[in-house]
Amino acid sequence: MQRRSAIKNLTMAMGGLLSLPSWASGWTPESIGSVSMLSFNEENTLAEIVETLIPETNTPGAKSLKVHQFAMRMVNDCYAEAAQQSFKQGLKTTDDAAQKAYNKGFVECTPQQRLELLKQLSASSDTPAKQFVNTIKNLTIQGYMNSEYVMVNIQKYNMAPGFYHGCVPVKK
């Protein structure tokens, strides 16, 4: 009897491992759904942080591709409760640092001020702030590079490389 339960558990584990990459790559905002772990103001701050890290140029920026929703989903689903609270505290710390440095919230700052503020936070001696900036950088890069737009239009991802041509004349 133990062999059957071991095989069942192994099969379920393998299925979970195989389905995880399909969710994490080629994602769209519609496939993520809504995540309500942050308030409206915190979500706007997060959107501006990811836009500061990957701004819009001749390609869409991170905010346009809704990478902040990807980051929220990853933090909500994959991080422990303590890390989620640390993430929320990092958003508050970022907004407080902007208020202290420029007398306005992070969202109201210019792109140059935002970038300077994130550089200061990542170089500060405050370990939670530094960890927050590193976490959001990693999630932004992961979300942007695995978005459907980047995978299809920039990396020219082909789901099935190589083609089968069944009716090809064979030379003798």
Q: What is the pLDDT of residues 15-59, one digit of tens each?
A: 666 555 554 556 666 666 666 678 888 999 999 999 999 999 999
Number of domains in the chain: 1
pLDDT of residue 35: 63
Q: What is the pLDDT of residues 117-144, one digit of tens each?
A: 999 999 988 889 999 999 999 999 999 9
CB atoms within 10 A of CB 84: 16
Q: Tell me: pLDDT of 71 over 70.
A: yes
Dist. CA 57–CA 54, nearest whole Å: 9
Q: What is the pLDDT of residues 86-122, one digit of tens each?
A: 999 999 999 999 999 999 999 999 999 999 999 999 9
Kindly state whether residue 55 falls inside one of the protein's structural domains.
yes
- Determine which helix (DSSP H) or strand (DSSP E) holds 99, and give its type and residue range: helix 81-102
Mean pLDDT computed over 51-71: 93
Kindly state whether residue 28 falls inside one of the protein's structural domains.
no
Instruction: Quote helix, strand, coil % in the chain, to nearest 5.
Output: 65, 0, 35
Structure tokens at 18: 């195989």
Q: Which domain holds residue 97?
A: 38-154
Dist. CA 163–CA 50, nearest whole Å: 38
pLDDT of residue 45: 92
Angle at 88 between CA 24 and CA 129, to 5 degrees: 95
> Is pTM, for the whole model, over 0.75?
no
Kindly state whether residue 8 falls inside one of the protein's structural domains.
no
- Please count the residues of the chain: 172
Whether 91 contacts 42, CB under 8 Å: yes
Kindly state whether residue 138 falls inside one of the protein's structural domains.
yes
